[in-house]
């Protein structure tokens, strides 16, 4: 019950890593607002899964890659208490293709969907944290942004940007008592990674120390730690959860 009565916002919060993060906070007593873009079925499912937990999950359909969508999410979460305690930026997509054959649409879509939500949600989320001079932001990145992955130049660029963004924002937000960190995920068993080519997945797994794919719950555990008071002196850091791949 570490997050009892806390207001938590999770973008991309109804599937994959985001779903696991939303449920993890709800188990700890948090009031979770889980943003999603289109999959109503997944939103209903995660809401049902949260029934009976100490906290709750409220799904909100909105496009956080736009200022309007992000503002709607943040305002809805802060409506009752006027503040937000935790913001987890997890929304993102992949459109893999070798660069020489990549379309401008695929490049633009990934950059827009993976980077813009960081800007919009953090901008408005910070404003709800600044008054209390406290809060925690956790950005979900990927090892593709650290070591690079073939066929993912657009995705790797966006996830590398998330790490740099985290470091810069941590310097800005620190004097206001707000911590900003990132969780850098390896190959995790989600719908998104299921679309990767099998040989690419096997190549990455072979390079890992543990020799297996990770679970969304293992990433969620790192997010919970960084958002908690146990990490009160940690900011501007990127914790890699990848079974020893990097």
Residue 150 and residue 206 in contact, taking contact as beta carbons nearer than 8 Å: no
* Active-site pick, 36, 98, 155, 233: 155
3-state secondary structure of 61: strand
Residue 209's φ and ψ, nearest 5 degrees, are: -70, -40
Find tokens 């900003």 and name the residue: 180
DSSP states of 183-238 as a string? Answer: EEE-SBSSHHHHTS-HHHHHHHHHHSSS-S-B-HHHHHHHHHHHHSGGGTT--S-E
Closest CA to 13 of 26, 22, 5, 1: 22
3-state secondary structure of 169: helix
Q: Is 233 a catalytic residue?
A: no
Nearest to 128 by CA among 74, 76, 205: 74
Q: Are 182 and 163 in contact (CB under 8 A)?
A: yes
Order of strands, edge to edge, in the sheet holding 178-185? 56-61, 31-36, 7-11, 86-89, 135-142, 178-185, 238-241
Q: Which residues are catalytic?
A: 155
């Amino acid at each position: 019950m570490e997050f009892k009565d806390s207001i938590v916002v999770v973008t991309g919060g109804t599937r994959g890593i985001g779903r696991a993060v939303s449920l993890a906070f709800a188990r700890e007593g948090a009031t979770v607002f889980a943003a999603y873009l289109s999959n109503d079925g997944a939103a209903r499912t995660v809401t049902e899964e949260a029934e009976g937990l100490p906290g709750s999950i409220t799904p909100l359909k909105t496009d956080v890659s736009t200022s309007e969508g992000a503002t709607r999410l943040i305002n809805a979460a802060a409506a009752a208490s006027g503040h937000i305690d935790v913001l987890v930026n997890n929304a993102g997509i992949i459109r893999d293709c070798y660069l020489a054959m990549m379309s401008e649409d695929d490049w633009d879509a990934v950059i827009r969907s993976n980077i813009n939500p960081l800007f919009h949600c953090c901008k408005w989320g910070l404003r709800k944290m600044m008054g209390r001079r406290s809060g925690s932001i956790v950005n979900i990145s990927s090892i593709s942004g650290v070591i690079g992955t073939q066929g993912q130049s657009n995705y790797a660029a966006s996830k590398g940007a998330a790490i740099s963004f985290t470091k810069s924002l941590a310097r800005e937000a620190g004097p206001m008592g707000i911590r900003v960190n990132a969780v850098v995920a390896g190959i995790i068993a989600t719908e998104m990674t299921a679309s990767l080519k099998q040989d690419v997945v096997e190549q990455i797994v072979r390079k890992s120390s543990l020799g297996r794919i990770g679970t969304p719950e293992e990433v969620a555990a790192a997010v919970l730690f960084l958002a908690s008071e146990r990490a009160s002196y940690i900011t501007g850091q990127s914790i890699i959860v990848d079974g020893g791949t990097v």
